[in-house]
Amino acid sequence: MRSAWVLCPFCQAKTKTKILDDSILLRFPLYCPRCKKEMKVDVIQGIIYFCSQ
Ligand SMILES: [Zn+2]
């Protein structure tokens, strides 16, 4: 099973969050150390979807 660091949907920086190939995150508060903010994301099959709300 592969794992990968989640990239920030804005600046593509590596975050401190790791996911596996089959991980599913819904409304996950992803923190980006470069943007210095938390954003809500969904991660499904390795693709990161930014949640505007
Ligand atoms: Zn960022």
pLDDT tens profile 8-18: 999 999 999 99
> Which three-class secondary structure state does DSSP give residue 19?
strand
User: Are 23 and 2 within 8 A, CB to CB?
Assistant: no
Domain ranges of the chain: 3-50
User: Are 42 and 28 within 8 A, CB to CB?
Assistant: yes
- Confidence band, pLDDT 50/70/90 cuts, at residue 48: very high
Residues, beta carbon < 5 Å, ion ligand 1: 8, 10-11, 13, 32, 34-35
CA nearest to 52, candidates 39, 34, 43, 33: 39
- Tell me the CA–centroid distance for residue 16 and ligand 1, in Å: 11
- Tell me the CA–centroid distance for residue 9 and ligand 1, in Å: 7
- Tell me the CA–centroid distance for residue 40 and ligand 1, in Å: 12
| pLDDT tens, residue by residue, 17-29 | 999 999 999 999 9
